[in-house]
Amino acid sequence: MSIFIDESTTVVVQGITGRDGSFHARQMMEYGTRIVGGVTPGKGGQRFENAVPIFNTVADAVKETGANTSVIYVPPMHAADAMMEAAAAGVKLIVAITEGVPVLDMTRVYPFVKERGVRLLGPNCPGLISPGKSKVGIIPGRICAPGPVGVVSRSGTLTYEVVYQLTRAGIGQTTCVGIGGDPINGTNFIDCLEAFENDRATKAVCMMGEIGGTDEQDAAQYVMKRMKKPVVGFIAGQTAPAGRRMGHAGAIISGSAGTAAEKIAAFEQAGMGVARRPADFVELIRARLR
C-alpha cells in the first residue's frame, strides 16, 4: 500500500512540451508512471515521444484519457490558472511543481480546489513517489526503494538526502511526499500524517520541517492526539537568523514564532523521535521498526 498515488494513478502533464515538463515526463515514464496525456494549448492532436497524446485543455485530456491526476510544470505566472483548470476538469490529485507562484494567486486557488474536493500538492514542491509503483513530480526514482516508512517534508533536496540515507541503510518507503516550501500550499503535514496513519503498509513516518510558521507544531499536536504509529521529526534552520527569508518563502522566523527550538520542543512534547541531523533518521527509524 501507499498514500495518494499507486499503480492505478493515471497522469496528465500540464506543460508537457516545455523544458522542465518534457524532461520530467520522460523521467516519470521511465520510472513506470502511467502518463496518459499531456496539455499544451495549441499543440492538441500532436504526440509526445510519439506515444502520449497532447491536448489543448485539461478538460479534453481528462475526457479522452480518464486521467485522475495532473502534474503541473507551467511557468509561475500561469500556474494558478493551470491548477484551477485541473480542478475544474475533475482530476482528484493535482501536483504543482512550479516554483515562484505569487502568494496572492494561491489565496484564490486554495478555496477553488478545496470546494471541488480535489487534493492539491504544492506548489513549489518536488511531488511524490510510491517506490516501485508510481512517481509524480521530480523526486529521483533511483534513491528510493519500496518498504515500510512514510516520508513527508517541506523541502526538495533535503527529502532526497534523507530518503537516500534510508535506502542505503536498507530501509524502504511506502510513499515520499514533498509538500513544498511556500506559505500557502494545498496539502499540509497533517493531511499526510493522517494518510500514513490509515495506510496499512506504513509502519513509521519521517517528517522534515523547517523554521517559519506553526505547521510543525500543529503536526506535533496531531501526532500526540491521533497517531499510533511512531513519527521521527527534523527541523532545518536551527542556525538561521530571525527575520530573514531562507530561500523558501515560508522559511522565515518572525518574532518569537517559528523558531527551530520551539518546533523541536513541540516534537519532544508529542513523544516524537527527534533527529538532530539527517543521518540520525536511520537509527531512530530502525529502532521504531523493531
Partner 1 sequence: MNIHEYQAKEIFRAAGIPIPPGEVATTPDEAEAIARRFGGTVVVKAQVHAGGRGKAGGVKLAKTPEEARTVATKILALTIKDLPVQKVLVTPAAEIASEAYVGIIVDRARKKPVFMVSAAGGIDIEEVAAKTPEKIMYLPVDARYGLLDFEAQQMGFFLYSDAKLARAAAKIMKQLYRAFLSSGASLAEINPLVVTPAGEVLALDAKMVVDDNELDRRGELAELRDESAEAPSEVQARNANLTFIKLDGNVGCVVNGAGLAMATMDLVKYYGGEPANFLDIGGSSNPEKVVNALRIITADANVKAILFNIFGGITRTDDVANGIVTATKQNPLRVPIVIRLTGTNEELAMKILQDNGFSASSDMDEAVKKAVQLATGGTSA
Q: Find the DSSP H helices in 32-156.
A: 58-65, 76-89, 103-114
Nearer to partner 1, 39 or 251 (CB): 251
For the stretch 42-48, contacts whose Cβ atoms lie closer than 8 Å and that sit 24 or more positions apart, written own/partner, are: 43/17, 48/13, 48/16, 48/17, 48/22
* Cβ-based nearer residue to partner 1, 78 or 92: 78
CB of 282 to partner 1, least distance (A): 11
Which residues does residue 12 pair with via DSSP β-bridges, in sequence order? 37, 70
Establish whether 78 is a catalytic residue: no
Distance in Å, CB of 192 to partner 1, minimum: 16
Strands (E), the chain: 10-14, 34-39, 47-48, 52-55, 69-72, 93-96, 119-121, 127-130, 134-137, 146-153, 173-178, 204-210, 231-236, 273-274
Q: Which residues pair with 134 in a beta bridge?
A: 130
Nearer to partner 1, 67 or 193 (CB): 193
Summary count for the chain: helices (H), strands (E): 9, 14
Chain residues in the site for partner 1 (CB under 8 A):
20, 76-77, 99-104, 106-108, 110-112, 126, 138-140, 143, 153-161, 164, 181, 183-184, 208, 210-211, 213-215, 234, 236-241, 244, 246-251, 255, 260, 276-279
In terms of CB distance, is 21 or 37 closer to partner 1? 21
- Exactly one of 211, 248, 260, 278 is catalytic; which is it? 248
Q: Grid coordinates standing for 251?
A: 522559511
Tell me which amino acid residue 222 is.
Answer: Y
Q: How far is the CB of 104 from partner 1 (least distance, A)?
A: 6
CB of 98 to partner 1, least distance (A): 10
CB 235 to partner 1: min, Å: 9
CB of 166 to partner 1, least distance (A): 14
User: Nearer Cβ to partner 1, position 133 or 248?
Assistant: 248
Peptide bond into 123 cis (omega under 30): yes
| Alpha carbon of residue 101 to chain centroid | 16
Closest CB to partner 1 among residues 20, 60 = 20
Q: How far apart are CA 86 and CA 256, in angstroms?
A: 39
Hey, is 95 helix, strand or coil?
A: strand
Q: How many residues does the chain have?
A: 290
Cα–Cα distance measured from residue 18 to residue 73, given in angstroms and rounded to the nearest whole number = 8
- Catalytic residue numbers read 248
